[in-house]
Amino acid sequence: MKTRLILFILVLGVGVTIAGFMIKGKSKMQNSLEYRESIDNKLKVINPYDVNPKLVDSSVLAVRSGHTIAPFSLVNQYGEVITEKNTENKIYVANYFFTTCSSICPVMTTQLKRVQTEFPGEPWLKLLSHTVWPEGDSVSRLYNYALKYEAIPEQWWFLTGSKSDLYTMARKSYLVVPDENDPDYDHGNESDFIHTENFVLIDPKNQIRGMYDGTNPDEVSDLIKDIYDLKREFNF
């Protein structure tokens, strides 16, 4: 009788242990990128109507569907003209910065470098960092800044152009304008200055698929996961 009881306890213990390993194994699998890529989990398409009204230009505020990034023509750190043709059929992340910024910009650029490190040189992914200070951020200054952060030349572009073009894109395409209470908010005037921490994820159809706080490592981790989701969605 004692022998049977001991055997029963041993069998029960082994069963519980195996079940525990199976549960732990399943949990780890559910958190893996492989598991994420096995689920049909498409990201929402974001339109101006979906965004905080304080971050949207009034001319596009009522748009509920069909919003896309407008055509553009800017210059990168190598003096090359970059247009929407360079991002055609690609995923890309856009943000705004300026080279002499000592507050949030170094943090954001370091976080964007994490994205580059996760997808080094992938031809289907681009990173577009737009200056908010084109009068000061010359091509040579952008070049040196790109070197500092070890930007891969064909993947990560630091862009300049006319202030009007850069700011119109921020307000009407990327939807990252400052709050109206921002002390530097002077819409359309020479003293107008935007300063935003947002990263914007754009899909190959030029649609916004995600917005993230570029100073928050956890949100940038979410961005990386969402890039994997788009990669799967568009079969890259």
Provide the annotated binding site for Cu cation: 101, 105, 195
Cβ–Cβ < 8 Å for 204, 89 = yes
Question: Distance of CA 71 to CAs 92, 123, 127, 166, Å?
Answer: 14, 20, 17, 12
212/95 Cα distance (integer angstroms): 10
Q: Which residues are annotated as a binding site?
A: 101, 105, 195
**For the purposes of burial, counting CB atoms within 10 Å of the CB of 155, is it exposed (0-12), middle (13-18) or buried (19 or more)?**
middle
76/88 Cα distance (integer angstroms): 17
Backbone angles phi, psi at 74, to 5 degrees: -130, 175
Backbone angles phi, psi at 62, to 5 degrees: -85, 0
Backbone angles phi, psi at 115, to 5 degrees: -65, -45
Cβ–Cβ < 8 Å for 187, 179 = no
